[in-house]
C-alpha cells in the first residue's frame, strides 16, 4: 500500500515508523465513505419506488423528486400539545436514510456534499 496516495499527510519518521495520516485525513475518508453510503441508499430507494425520479442533496438538505412533479421531503414536523415540534419520517422506507443522515450529518457535514442523480443515472455534483 502506498501511504502517500491513501493519506495526504502520511510521513515516515526517522526510525522507520510510518505515520499514516492526520485526523483531517481520517475525517475526509469518513466523510467520503458516508457520502458513498448515502448515495447507495438513495439509489436503492429510487429503484424500489418507481414513482420517484431523482435524489437531490446540497447545502444542508436533501429530498427526492417525483416523476409527476413535486418533491418528497424526507422528514416532516408537527407541533404537539406542549408546543414542541415533533419530527417524523414522511415515509417508512426513508427511515434508514434519515437515521444515517440524522446521526452523522452534524459531524461529517454529509448534506454539504452536493449530488443529484436518478436511480441509474450519473451523479451530478456541479449544477
Domain boundaries, the chain: 3-117
pTM for the model? 0.77
Q: pLDDT value at position 1?
A: 47
Please tell me the predicted confidence (pLDDT) of residue 12. Answer: 65
Helix axes 95-108, 23-48, angle to 10 degrees: 160
Give residue 10's pLDDT. 64
Do the Cβ atoms of 101 and 62 come closer than 8 Å? Answer: yes
Averages of pLDDT over runs of 10 residues in the chain (127 residues) are: 55 63 81 96 97 96 94 84 81 94 93 96 94
pLDDT of residue 11: 64
- Quick check: 53 and 66 in contact, CB under 8 A? yes
Q: Is 19 helix (H, G, I), strand (E, B) or coil?
A: strand
Dihedral (CA of 91, 97, 103, 105) sign? negative
Amino acid at each position: 500500500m502506498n501511504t502517500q496516495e491513501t493519506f495526504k499527510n502520511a510521513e515516515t519518521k526517522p526510525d522507520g515508523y510510518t505515520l499514516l495520516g492526520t485526523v483531517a485525513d481520517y475525517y475526509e475518508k469518513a466523510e467520503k465513505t458516508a457520502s458513498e453510503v448515502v448515495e447507495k441508499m438513495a439509489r436503492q430507494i429510487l429503484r424500489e419506488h418507481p414513482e420517484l425520479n431523482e435524489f437531490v442533496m446540497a447545502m444542508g438538505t436533501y429530498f427526492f423528486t417525483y416523476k409527476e412533479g413535486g418533491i418528497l421531503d424526507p422528514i416532516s414536523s408537527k407541533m404537539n400539545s406542549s408546543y414542541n415540534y415533533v419530527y417524523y419520517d414522511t415515509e417508512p422506507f426513508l427511515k434508514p436514510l434519515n437515521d444515517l443522515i440524522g446521526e452523522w450529518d452534524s459531524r461529517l457535514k454529509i448534506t454539504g456534499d452536493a449530488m443529484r442523480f436518478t436511480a441509474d443515472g450519473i451523479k451530478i455534483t456541479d449544477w
